[in-house]
Amino acid sequence: MRVDQIFEQAKAAGAQPVSFEMFPPKGEMTLERAREVAGSFSQLNPDFISVTYSAGGSGNNGATTKIAQMIDADFGIPSVAHLTCISLKRADLLAKIDEMRAAGIQNVLALRGDVPQGAPTGPGCADYRYAKDIIPHLVDAGFCVGAAAYPEGHIECDDLELSVRQLKEKQDAGASFLVTQLFFDNQYFYRFRELAERAGITVPITAGIMPFMGKQQISRMVFMCGASLPSPVIKLLARYEDDADSLRAAGIEYACRQLEDLAANGVDGLHVYTMNRADVASAAMSALRA
């Protein structure tokens, strides 16, 4: 099923789609292990599951299409295959399109991806510089295409309003839904939503939430994504500095409260960055269905 249809049906029913992300981690993730993860998620009946593509530039991107196909075929859950364009040549893109179509993939999340260290940048250095450059090709190939949104602005852009205008270009290129980067303060999302509406963005925006599970993880996310740490999060990090289990529990609880608040404030959809953890997915669903 196409994700744009999922949003249309949910809106008509006064509901909000809830989706999960899973990823092939660095190195190898066998299809059997991916099936176990997807199977645990399927018991929670998410509206769709997205599958990342080479996170950080070093993941097992060859598995993305196979895992997305398996989720749809084995569990009857719509899947979204991520596709990053930063290292793609035109021939590579065409090959990926053929691969995904042959696998029956209907939904693709178009992303720029992380620029490899040492790679040249600037005009002429890559066939596709931005996600918006591949979106029309994917739409023309028949996919329902989503794109990433940044509630606090892209980390490489200091101007939030400019970042929103660039997001509008993704919609204009053919993106029919948007998934946000993680954030820890819902007020940033509400401010971003207002800016997006003023900029003419009309496609559904699903809010992405990731629980913090440890100090190292949250530090990496802050530096990679530019997400702000509000005072309540800093206080939790300080309180449970020497208690890893309690910090993980507090991180999941904090994310659940974020999800509840977002749902109450009428967001278009909710996307949980699960880190392949069934307990994260289960806690999120329990909070939203309470």
* Distance in angstroms (rounded) separating the CA atoms of residues 82 and 88: 13
Encoded tokens for 264: 């109450």
Residue 152 annotated as catalytic:
no
* Distance in angstroms (rounded) separating the CA atoms of residues 21 and 260: 18
Catalytic residue (choose from 8, 21, 32, 152): 21
CB 210 within 8 A of CB 248: no
Q: Which among 168, 99, 93, 88 has a CA at the least distance from the CA of 129?
A: 88
- Which single residue is written with the structure tokens 């793609």? 88
Q: How many CB atoms lie within 10 A of CB 20?
A: 28
19 φ, ψ (degrees, to nearest 5): -130, 160
* Distance in angstroms (rounded) separating the CA atoms of residues 288 and 62: 33
Active site residues: 21
